Each structure stands twice: as structure tokens, then as C-alpha cells.
């Protein structure tokens, strides 16, 4: 196992099994960049940690079931299922906050982390945001 895989595994653990924003902060470089489907491009460790704070508060007892894990050079790639119950508030893309829905979610996604000197410098997260919002019950019943 290389450094990228180790860092990605530590990040996954700090986001799910043992939520810890301090560990998450340590894993990102100060000038890291992250791309997310719901918040777009985030610059800097503090903004990335804030993004993860909102997610860990919205789904505090989340789990991640890896389906495929890869490491290529200094990049780790995970495909898996993120699941849990929405028991905390969740900021929505329109700027409003969704109160806890108490609904179970199960989202398939892909994480890609490029690591330099033991820290994530480039992170990409892909998941179906419409599926996520639909599972939370925020989408209208009528088709668009």
C-alpha cells in the first residue's frame, strides 16, 4: 500500500466510522483544491474542511462500503456506497438549509485524491446529486 492509498483510507475513516474534523484537516494541504457536485470548486483546506463538517453533521453515523479501490502513482481512487440517516441540517445548493429529514440515504460515488508529501493536494468527489436530494425527499413529485 502506498502513501495515496493510506491517506485516502484515513480520510474515509475520518468521514465515516470515526468522524474527526481535526484528522480531516491534517490530511489536506493548506492550498488543496476540491471539486464537488454540490458545492463546485473549493479552494484551501479550511473551505474543504467546512464542506466535510456540513456533511458529517448532516449524516453523522455514515458508512462507506468500498466497491473498487485503486492506487495509481500518487493518486487513490475509491468507488463505493455512502449511506446513513440524515439527522442533521443540510445546506442546499440554493443557499437554504434543509432540516433533518430522518431519511436513510444510499449514494454511489467516486472519490479521487492526489497526494503529495502525505497530504491531499487535489480531491474530486462525484455522486448523483439528484439521487441524493430525491432520497432526502426534497425534489418535487411532478417530473420537471
Work out the average pLDDT over 43-64: 96
Q: What is the pLDDT of residue 142?
A: 61
Q: What is the pLDDT of residue 96?
A: 86
Of 58-72, 90-104, 105-119, minimum mean pLDDT range: 90-104
**pTM beyond 0.85:** yes
End-to-end CA distance of the chain: 46
Q: What is the pLDDT of residue 143?
A: 61
* 27 Rama class: left (phi>0) / alpha (psi -120 to 50) / beta: alpha
Edge-first strand listing for the sheet containing 104-116: 40-43, 28-36, 119-127, 104-116, 75-85, 63-72
Which residues neighbour 95 within 8 Å (Cβ) at sequence distance 6 or greater?
none
Q: What is the mean pLDDT of the chain?
A: 94
Work out the average pLDDT over 22-30: 98
Amino acid at each position: 500500500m502506498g502513501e495515496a492509498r493510506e491517506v485516502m483510507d484515513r480520510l474515509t475513516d475520518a468521514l465515516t466510522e470515526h468522524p474527526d474534523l481535526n484528522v480531516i484537516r491534517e490530511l489536506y494541504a493548506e492550498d488543496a483544491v476540491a471539486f464537488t457536485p454540490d458545492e463546485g470548486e473549493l479552494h484551501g483546506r479550511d473551505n474543504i474542511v467546512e464542506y466535510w463538517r456540513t456533511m458529517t453533521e448532516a449524516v453523522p453515523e455514515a458508512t462507506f462500503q468500498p466497491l473498487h479501490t485503486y492506487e495509481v502513482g500518487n493518486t487513490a481512487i475509491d468507488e463505493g456506497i455512502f449511506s446513513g440517516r440524515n439527522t442533521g441540517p443540510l445546506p442546499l445548493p440554493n443557499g437554504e438549509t434543509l432540516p433533518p429529514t430522518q431519511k436513510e440515504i444510499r449514494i454511489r460515488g467516486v472519490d479521487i485524491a492526489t497526494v503529495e508529501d502525505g497530504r491531499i493536494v487535489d480531491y474530486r468527489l462525484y455522486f448523483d446529486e439528484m439521487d441524493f436530494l430525491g432520497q432526502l425527499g426534497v425534489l418535487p413529485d411532478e417530473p420537471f
